[in-house]
Structure 1
Amino acid sequence: MIQEYYTKVLEKNKWKNREFIDYVISLLEKEWTNKNVFIIEAPTGYGKSTISQAISLYSINEELKVIIAFPLRTLLEDQYEKFKKITEENFLGKRYMHSLDSRYLVKPITLTTIDMLSLTIFGIPPEEFEKVAKEQSLGHYLFSHSSVLFSNIILDEVHLLSDSTKSINFLALLIHLAITNNLKLIFMSATIPPALINVISRFFENKKEKLSLIRFKENCDKEFIRERLRKNYKIFLHALKESEKFNKIVELLTKSPFKKAIVIFNTVEDAISFYKLLIDLDLNSKKVLLHSRFNEIDRERKIMELKEIKKLNEYLIISTQTIESGVDISSNLIITELAPANSLIQRLGRFLRYENEYEGEVHIWFEVDEKGKIKSYMNKYKVYDLKLVEKTLETLKKQNLKINFHVPESYEKLLKDVYDESEFEINKSIIDEYNYALSNIENLSQSALDLFIRMEGSFVRDEMPIPVITEEIYNYVKSSPNKIANYAVPISIEILKKVKPKNAIKTDGEKIEIQIDNDKMKRPEKWLKFLLKNDIAALIVEGKYNEEIGLVIKQL
């Protein structure tokens, strides 16, 4: 039956079939009744969304409903536009923090974020959250929870959830729920480290017959591999001091014959500083800046801007790791800061991405100190684990940069060399805590809320994002407090420690003074309690915001 809906997806989109997708669909059809969890790996740009769409049409016609969850909203928005082509709009919904469509994820096909999925599973979706926190309601726990349990669930770009024990624990919980409740759970990615799959397989050793791993191999689509092998490019490695990095990148841009360029930094501050430098240099290319510190309105505008820029023969995109997934764009010149292998492969997924793109250049650079060693601070290289970055650099050098980032068999060697099983952990006691909260019928949503607070504001992410606005934006929205969410920008607790805001805006628009004590800084759960107790919509920080640059915080 899935095969029938796969054919419909191809017809509606006017897409060609791919050999490996054909194989995946046939295997899904064969194993659907006997397996619960399907882990599917396919190369970047191969068309994994075809699988999501086929399963979605099958689910709403032959079973009940489907939820497709994404780690990033940019992914969700991009896929939502594609899903509109295969189904009627009243069957389709998207749900994230400030979108009220498909409450409780009830629409037959709902695209959502992994954060929203986690809250809905635990019976505390945003529409219930505040009332439960203030003990004004017991919430609709069973309805919320059941909405997920009566669905087939697809997690796209699941590699983005492999970078912390917390997110890996949540993946393990989903697998447990799928097996226990006979759900169908599909994980999809181009770069799931083999070591992570080993850890998952061992944890579910007693239920391994319920898991199916479907990996791309070269004999799955020889024509695709031949086309990928035609892509001709060299990889260059640069060790740069902080004082010279921007000038070197400008030199690479101006001297290269390739003009569809993407430059990727590991921090927002570097991306913004480099973009400002380019404005002063007045290069002719159409320029776009992407990072996480844009408000909701401008994020959507940036997505539309990227769709237009694809039509040009020359452009320059400056980005952070935001571009790694969910941005359907290609380049023939990519200049990226060194990152762990997983991220590096995803970044190169935006390089010579499409068919008939064969020539280009790759430049990978990293910052060094005065002794020529990779620059680090507290076992970090910028935002990444230092050990993983060093192992990635060591492996690149060991392989003499002879890696084809377009062929899985080539880049899988990089993943195997960089990641070992010690990088991944499933904590059984945390899984037990999750299950206790889910089974506490007497105190449903409140039990989940208590756990949410103990988990420091997220079941998935290590850091709870805190919404902030500038004084100028506050003056604009204070008379229309319902607009605050649209203009707020999320920042991390780590950044908050540096800026220490003195004021906040409540959900009714009132401005209040706040005091940031060291206890709140050390214990993020106190932040969450503070925000909930005082109806805080956003904190007010010193800085400037504009639609082109995003949020620039004064203290940074």
Structure 2
Amino acid sequence: MYFDKDVVKIEDLIKQPERYFAHKPKKDDRKKETLKEHTNLAEAYFLKIFEEKNLGHCMEVFEEKYFDQLSWEAKNLFRSMMFGIVTFHDFGKVNPYFQKEKMGHEMPEAKKIFSNSHHSLISAALYFEYFMGKVWELDKNDKKQLKEFLFLNSYLIAKHHSDLDTFEKYLKSFEDEDIYHLIEMLEDQDHLNFYKKPFQCSLKRQRLGKAARNLKKAARDRKSRTRQILFYAYERLAYSLLVASDHYAASEYMSGVQIRHFGGMEHMDEFCRQYYGTELYHGIRKYEQEKYLKEKDLRKEENMNIMRTELFLDAEQELKKHMDQNVFFVEAPTGSGKSNLAVNLSFQLMKQNPGIGKIFYVYPFNTLIEQNLESMEKIFGGSKVMEDIAVVNSMKPIPMDRAKRKTDELQYYQEALLNRQFLNYPMILTTHVSLFDTMFGRRKESTFGFHQLANSVLVLDEIQSYRNSIWTEIILFLKEFASFLNMKIIIMSATLPNLDVLSPGLENAVPLIRNREKFYSHPVFKNRVHADYSLMKKEFTMEDLLDHVLKQQNLKKKILVEFIKKESAYTFFQMLQEDGRLELPTELLTGDQSILERKQVLKKIDTAGKQGMILVSTQVIEAGADIDMDIGYKNWSKLDSEEQFMGRINRSCKKKGAVVYFFEMDDPRHIYRDGDARIENLEYTLANEEMRTILSEKDFQKYYKSVLEVLKQTFMESTGDHGIEAFFATKLGLLDHPEIEKRMQLIQDDMWSMSVYLCRKVEEEDGTVVDGKEIWNKYKKLLMDQKMDYSEKKYKLSEVRSKMNYFTYTIQRTVLMYSDKIGELYMIEDGEKYFQNGRLNKILLEGKDGTPDFL
């Protein structure tokens, strides 16, 4: 057991604890829940989660890495202090004012009533008062190390009903008068057992004020980056456990919902049976037995599936040699079967590490989630384990097991909401943005699922697609989180930077493809697409591009044209439609379109066959769609993007004459404004002949060696306010959550766009017609319903919002003549008039120069 049997109990702290109440029922005539009952239930949930998630091992790792020769007595106290967070979290409800105002419970014998019904800060003060004496009795070294956790843990209690702000602000309160006035009032309560009054009040103020000032001062120089991250991760883990335990306990009393399982992989054997029974897997194992590691000349191999199998087996063999490591890199060419590889590596890690109990598959785009969910359905569809796979993003409603629908609707919705809030699913498909919100978001709801990261497999796809100004922070956090929380992290990409360069002093990641040249230099990957730079000239117009594309029509090929600016994509698509020479069917694909519209476009690409087609797209096509085109046109941008785009051309490696023409219509330096070294320096783009050679040879390590050196000089070695040192010392060290969230934001807020809801009728894949106006009215009605149970309302809102995505579009910020508005979402009732042939005409909607034509 991680926690000692002598941990503090509520009955040791207060006389007759059954006299105080924590909750009362909303409607029925059940008895009020006593403070003791709620506390004991929250403690029970805390221990259940702690045990199921194997957090004792994680905390032992933390103690070893963080503390400097902590005595056994101090270590036991540290553990008791951690458990004390949940014991004390609602203890402030002993306040007679809370009992009277919130519980309807008069306590006339109470000496004083402190007129504040907000119990969290009082609970924090009680916690601090109880453990302060114990910490101050330790020897100097132990006391110095545990003091910060005395302050930190009480801060978490104070914030357990609100969003996280800054630890520094809380420390400053110990230099003010208010906190001591509160403590003095608490000491005068006869019903509390534990006050020994170890100090005179003036001495107490002096010592605590000094301790708080020292903690702030020491944030700059007391810790290495490792200890800074560990301190932050401990805070987030402890807070996540506290709010989870509190929510589960409160829900059990309020609605009778008992959470018995916390998202662990209970059906691992069935997952493996299903996967290992697939035809694809059998084929790989047959090849392994008959041909793998046998002498052969792979350079002459023309079957891409053979090379995919070789890569699959190479990665698996390397993984088996390093099962004790935490972070792995998979650098593999586009089209080499990374999705299948990821499933196998995840299962191998779980089989060889019994403590691992969860899998996260994390993607940059929602479209990739949809694509991989379809792959999962092919493998696990029809099996009960499909119920264990959940999509967690803004596009899907809260997952619910309708086969287990309870008679009690309230319990049904409550359980579904709790499972969604706290990520109680064995296998999760989500986005990088959602994951980073769990890791770095300041909202209370953001932290709910942080404890679920412990003892999990985390597969990160295309992490380099985000701004490289925070790559250093990303790899530092990931490595330290993995070490502390026993996470196994697989980072995959066709253009994967060696992020070890940005994390010196930490254990290097294990590359699972040791012989990258075996694949990147192989003809089936290297030579399947030819790059043509003849269109990269300064005087190249949209009309020139139109002429060039239309001349390809007689080849009856599938042509992909990508722009880096949405407006350019819409303009070119409109020009194609209006040109009398157009013979091929033409489609448009952008990030603005709904999931339904994107699915319809992708289906048309799959069925285009030999007649050919033209697809005009934005960069959403690069990693957001599994398509196979014949000819490509692309506005140059980052070298990573060029390779990702080329991966959409001749993906099957069965076509002759596949080519990508690069051109310049829009200057990427005017599009990317996030300080990305890959685009700000032209020497790292196709404007440089050397980069063209690197793209041809697939030598991305050479490319990234230079880019990473720039990042080191710009961010790692910078001594300014935006450098790594300043961030870790002044922001992370003092747990400045608004600034941490801002720093680790993957996508910068777009202040120049707005969301518009266009009412019309659309048809789903199964033929069901969805009326946008009806969905809008249903959404409004739900928002205004103040009587519906919270959990039922949250679920029904998630269902409606998933349908609202069919009608919501992003346009340039402008003045609109709208029919209705909810928050920053503008509804236009006659939305159909802005569509032509089923496609949104953004030019018609936004008007010339951003002025809508209907004003």
If the length of structure 2 is used for normalisation, what is the TM-score?
0.49
Tell me, yes or no, if the aligned pair for 2:754 and 2:824 is still in contact at 8 Å: yes
State the Cα distance separating 1:307 from its structure 2 match. Answer: 3.8
Q: Which residue of 2 aligns with 1:252?
A: 548
- Seen in structure 2, the aligned counterparts of structure 1 residues 207 and 385 have a Cα distance that, compared at 3 Å, is closer
Q: Which residue of 2 aligns with 1:332?
A: 630
Q: Which residue of 2 aligns with 1:97?
A: 394
Amino acid at match of 1:94: V
Q: Once superposed, what is the RMSD of the aligned Cα atoms?
A: 4.1
State the Cα distance separating 1:344 from its structure 2 match. Answer: 1.2
The reply on whether 1:31 has 2:322 as its aligned counterpart is yes
Which residue, 469, 477, 480 being the options, matches 2:756? Answer: 469
- Seen in structure 2, the aligned counterparts of structure 1 residues 540 and 170 have a Cα distance that, compared at 3 Å, is farther
Alpha-carbon distance in 2 for matches of 1:280, 1:46: 39
Amino acid at match of 1:154: V
Which residue, 710, 725, 736 being the options, matches 1:421? Answer: 710
With a CA cutoff of 8 Å and minimum separation of 6, indicate the structure with the bigger relative contact order.
1
Q: Which residue of 2 aligns with 1:74?
A: 367
- Seen in structure 2, the aligned counterparts of structure 1 residues 228 and 476 have a Cα distance that, compared at 3 Å, is same
Alpha-carbon distance in 1 for matches of 2:453, 2:575: 48
Q: Cα deviation per residue 1:332-388 (whole Å; 9 max; x = unaligned)?
A: 2111111121111111111222122231232111148xxxxx79659979x997534
Which residue, 516, 530, 551 being the options, matches 1:233? Answer: 530
Q: Quick check: 108-117 or 165-174, which moved more?
A: 165-174
- Seen in structure 2, the aligned counterparts of structure 1 residues 187 and 471 have a Cα distance that, compared at 3 Å, is closer
Alpha-carbon distance in 1 for matches of 2:827, 2:776: 12
- Seen in structure 2, the aligned counterparts of structure 1 residues 297 and 233 have a Cα distance that, compared at 3 Å, is closer
State the Cα distance separating 1:185 from its structure 2 match. Answer: 0.8
Q: Secondary structure at the match of 1:153?
A: strand
Q: Which residue of 1 aligns with 2:839?
A: 548
Tell me, yes or no, if the aligned pair for 2:311 and 2:513 is still in contact at 8 Å: no
Tell me, yes or no, if the aligned pair for 2:756 and 2:810 is still in contact at 8 Å: no
Q: Which residue of 1 aligns with 2:654?
A: 356
Which residue, 276, 289, 306 being the options, matches 2:574? Answer: 276
Q: Which residue of 1 aligns with 2:449?
A: 144
Tell me, yes or no, if the aligned pair for 1:36 and 1:184 is still in contact at 8 Å: yes
Amino acid at match of 2:465: L
Alpha-carbon distance in 1 for matches of 2:672, 2:527: 39
State the Cα distance separating 1:145 from its structure 2 match. Answer: 1.1
Alpha-carbon distance in 1 for matches of 2:817, 2:515: 56
Alpha-carbon distance in 1 for matches of 2:652, 2:639: 22
Alpha-carbon distance in 1 for matches of 2:841, 2:473: 33
Alpha-carbon distance in 1 for matches of 2:504, 2:693: 37
State the Cα distance separating 1:90 from its structure 2 match. Answer: 1.2
State the Cα distance separating 1:67 from its structure 2 match. Answer: 0.2
Tell me, yes or no, if the aligned pair for 2:361 and 2:428 is still in contact at 8 Å: yes
Amino acid at match of 1:387: E
Alpha-carbon distance in 2 for matches of 1:379, 1:219: 31
Q: Secondary structure at the match of 1:173?
A: helix
Q: Which residue of 2 aligns with 1:45?
A: 335
Amino acid at match of 2:362: A
Q: Cα deviation per residue 1:61-103 (whole Å; 9 max; x = unaligned)?
A: 6531100100111111111111223333112221111322372
Q: Cα deviation per residue 1:130-170 (whole Å; 9 max; x = unaligned)?
A: xx5xxxxxx594x5111122321010122212x24246534
Q: Secondary structure at the match of 1:154?
A: strand
Q: Cα deviation per residue 1:449-500 (whole Å; 9 max; x = unaligned)?
A: x457x629x73222258761156578665422254642464649xx43xx26
- Seen in structure 2, the aligned counterparts of structure 1 residues 121 and 47 have a Cα distance that, compared at 3 Å, is same
Whichever of the two has the greater Rg, that structure is 2
1:108-507 → structure 2 map (5 Å cutoff): 108-122=426-440, 139=445, 141=447, 144-161=449-466, 163-166=467-470, 169-193=473-497, 197=498, 200-209=499-508, 211-215=509-513, 217=515, 220-221=518-519, 225-228=522-525, 231=528, 233=530, 235-239=532-536, 245-256=541-552, 257=555, 259-281=557-579, 283-309=582-608, 311-367=609-665, 387-389=680-682, 391-395=684-688, 397-398=689-690, 405=696, 408-409=698-699, 412-413=701-702, 420-422=709-711, 425=715, 427-430=724-727, 450=738, 455=742, 459-463=745-749, 468-470=755-757, 477-481=775-779, 483=800, 485-487=804-806, 489=808, 491=810, 495-496=812-813, 499=814
- Seen in structure 2, the aligned counterparts of structure 1 residues 387 and 115 have a Cα distance that, compared at 3 Å, is closer
Where structure 2 has 5 or more consecutive residues not aligned to the other structure, the ranges are 1-267, 285-304, 400-418, 717-723, 761-771, 780-796, 851-855
Amino acid at match of 1:152: V
Tell me, yes or no, if the aligned pair for 1:376 and 1:386 is still in contact at 8 Å: yes
Where structure 1 has 5 or more consecutive residues not aligned to the other structure, the ranges are 133-138, 369-373, 441-446, 506-510, 513-535
Tell me, yes or no, if the aligned pair for 1:293 and 1:550 is still in contact at 8 Å: no
Tell me, yes or no, if the aligned pair for 1:172 and 1:431 is still in contact at 8 Å: no
- Seen in structure 2, the aligned counterparts of structure 1 residues 408 and 298 have a Cα distance that, compared at 3 Å, is same
Tell me, yes or no, if the aligned pair for 1:155 and 1:187 is still in contact at 8 Å: yes
Alpha-carbon distance in 1 for matches of 2:465, 2:365: 9
Q: Secondary structure at the match of 1:106?
A: coil
Alpha-carbon distance in 2 for matches of 1:322, 1:417: 27
Tell me, yes or no, if the aligned pair for 2:532 and 2:661 is still in contact at 8 Å: yes
Which residue, 313, 319, 336 being the options, matches 1:22? Answer: 313
Tell me, yes or no, if the aligned pair for 1:36 and 1:179 is still in contact at 8 Å: yes
Higher helix share: 2
Q: Cα deviation per residue 1:312-336 (whole Å; 9 max; x = unaligned)?
A: 5512111111111131112221111
State the Cα distance separating 1:389 from its structure 2 match. Answer: 4.7
Alpha-carbon distance in 2 for matches of 1:167, 1:207: 15
Percent identity between matched residues is 20
Tell me, yes or no, if the aligned pair for 1:286 and 1:315 is still in contact at 8 Å: yes
If the length of structure 1 is used for normalisation, what is the TM-score?
0.73
Tell me, yes or no, if the aligned pair for 1:120 and 1:148 is still in contact at 8 Å: no
Tell me, yes or no, if the aligned pair for 1:306 and 1:329 is still in contact at 8 Å: yes
Amino acid at match of 1:146: H
Alpha-carbon distance in 2 for matches of 1:296, 1:432: 43
Amino acid at match of 2:338: K
